[in-house]
Amino acid sequence: MQQIISFIIRYKNFLLYIFLMIISLGFTIQSHSYHQSRFFNSSNWITGNILEASNNVTSYFGLDEENQKLVEENQRLRALLFNEAAIDTARLDSVRQTYTVNTGKVIKNSFSRPLNYITIDKGQKDNVRPDMGVITSKGILGIVENTSNNYATVQSILNEKSNINAKIKGTDHFGSLVWDTKRYNVVQLIDIPRLVTLTVGDTIVTGGMSSIFPEGIPVGTIQKFDLNTSQSFYTIDVELFNDMTNIKNIYIVSNEYREEIINLENKTNEDDQ
């Protein structure tokens, strides 16, 4: 208390000046409409900026929650899209769900090795199994290889062992999507016959000839192509839609009838032998 009294006595002239200035400003604002208007406009401006800054801070900390909502909404929409495509292709009389979609996040990603793998935060307890397809909002990412209870590893499309059925969008010309290990943003589409007309910039999508990916998942665009004259097939460089160095949210695609299809194909192969 003594310190407060000492402070007031020490700075009494300055404090008196501030007090009188506040009183004079108050009288001035009350007696002049122009000053009153300017005062309230300034107050509104300051208050508005404070509220805007507060809202921006609140919005920033709420981004994670909003992003998760968007991911979940995309999950539902993609499941509807995949199943609608399957129904149209098969010309089914009754609607049945062929593909389910689960969300996840990347916790580890490699892209500079010949054999690249991605670790995701979903595993057996989330019904994730080997040979499920993994995509992002932009396109194909890879195929689940191994799973534990809580995690799974994905064979990246940037893996020299990767071999995925793909085609030129809008056509029925299929080939195999492989990687020559040279560039992290370019893969190769092979086994496209020379009779096919190609154009730089054409879109490449999944072919749907396997039971892993639905047909029509984006892959990338044709960057260049070369003809192997000895085999009469093109080797096509495909620039990926995905930025393989920056991946976070992913979708795990499961074909509910994959096991049945595989068993049937194995039985057919055994009968032919």
97-256, CATH topology level: Thrombin, subunit H (2.40.10)
pTM exceeds cut of 0.85: no
Low-confidence ranges of the chain (pLDDT < 50): 34-36, 39-45, 47-48, 51, 55, 59, 85-96
The pLDDT score that the predictor gives to residue 63 is 56
pLDDT digits (tens, 9 = 90+) for 129-182: 999 999 988 899 999 999 999 999 999 999 999 999 999 998 989 999 999 999
pLDDT of residue 24: 65
pLDDT of residue 189: 96
Burial profile 176-205: b = 16 or more Cβ within 10 angstroms, e = fewer = ebbbeeeebbbbbbbbbeeeeebeeebbbb
What three-state secondary structure class fits 245?
Answer: coil
Q: How far apart are CA 195 and CA 234, in angstroms?
A: 10
- What is the structure's pLDDT at 167? 95
Distance of CA 103 to the CA centre of its chain: 10
Residue ranges matching CATH 2.40.10.340 in the chain: 97-256
Q: CA angle 131-132-137, nearest 5°?
A: 140
Q: What is the pLDDT of residue 242?
A: 93
Say if residues 196 and 213 touch (Cβ distance below 8 Å).
Answer: no
